[in-house]
Amino acid sequence: MRLIHLADADNRDSNVQFVGIGSAPPPTRVASGKAVLFRRYLAASDNGTHEALQKAHGDDYGKALIEGDPEVDIESVGRAIGATNTVYLSASGEVLRVAPRIVEVLFGPDGAERERRDPVETPSNIQDATPVRWGKVRLKRKDAVRRLAFTRTVQLVHVDGLTYQYLHGLAKQLDEADEMVLIGAGTTGRDPLVFQVNGVPWRGFLEGRVDGPRYQLLLRLSNLELKAPEAKA
């Protein structure tokens, strides 16, 4: 069960469950009335790489390819590929037996590299003793979709009668105002939301929809602000 410690504008807080919203299934691909299945097959082996062919036949091995197909390994090429494992290689192509040292690279808004450092572990902050709370930033729904790119959405759901009343009330308040409210973590309520250790930091906006006793309380997540390009002179 995934929980978020949430407080509203009146500082009433509760641990509520959130679930992911599944996307619609893609259209079924068919050919001649039958479903299309995708399979992976081995296209080449180590003996078919440029380096191997260059070493065996010289720099100009085009004639050898035409006459003998040395790049085709009859025993391997065309075999179906099942489950695979990740293997790390060095710059010279040797298999690394020990996991490489990970370096965190920080870039500025202009895309230029600013700093290299050891990765900093970022803890999750959505279920701390200090609840995620409503901020002062509120946007009309029509303005929010024009200013922010929402790339993920989760739904807050009730688990009993008390959390139903709590979440239904929040959804009704936002729906009647036709607004989305920014929520934040930390003691100031301004920190971005981190759902798991070393997870992506998100700006979260609550959106409510109510239809009688039914409701939806959606947490829209964004880490990208939409800006109009600068006008060219």
Provide the residue-wise pLDDT of the chain in tens; the chain has 233 residues: 799 999 998 999 999 999 998 778 888 889 888 889 888 998 888 888 888 888 888 888 888 888 888 878 888 888 898 888 888 888 887 888 887 788 889 888 888 999 998 888 889 999 999 999 998 899 999 999 899 999 999 999 999 999 999 999 999 999 999 999 999 999 888 999 999 998 889 999 999 999 999 999 999 999 888 777 776 66
Whether residues 77 and 168 fall in one domain: no
Report pLDDT for 205.
96
Domain housing 55: 41-81
Whether residues 10 and 46 fall in one domain: no
Whether residues 145 and 216 fall in one domain: yes
**How many Å apart are CA 198 and CA 180, to the nearest integer?**
27
Report pLDDT for 23.
77
State the total domains in the chain. Answer: 2
Whether residues 208 and 161 fall in one domain: yes
What phi, psi does 122 have (nearest 5°)?
-105, 120
Whether residues 150 and 190 fall in one domain: yes
Residue 69 within a domain: yes
Report pLDDT for 169.
95
**How many Å apart are CA 176 and CA 211, to the nearest integer?**
11
Whether residues 131 and 206 fall in one domain: yes
Whether residues 128 and 72 fall in one domain: no
Whether residues 157 and 76 fall in one domain: no
**How many Å apart are CA 187 and CA 175, to the nearest integer?**
27
Residue 148 within a domain: yes
Residue 76 within a domain: yes
Report pLDDT for 233.
61
Residues 144, 128, 130: CA angle, nearest 5 degrees: 75
- Length, in residues, of the chain: 233
What phi, psi does 223 have (nearest 5°)?
-135, 25
Whether residues 151 and 218 fall in one domain: yes
Whether residues 146 and 204 fall in one domain: yes
Report pLDDT for 182.
95
List beta partners, residue 180: 139, 207
Q: What is the DSSP pairing of strand 113-117 with strand 132-140? A: unpaired
Percent of the chain with pLDDT over 70: 99
The tokens 């964004």 sit on which residue? 222
Whether residues 157 and 68 fall in one domain: no
Residue 13 within a domain: yes
Report pLDDT for 216.
95
* pTM of the complete model beyond 0.85: no
Whether residues 126 and 208 fall in one domain: yes
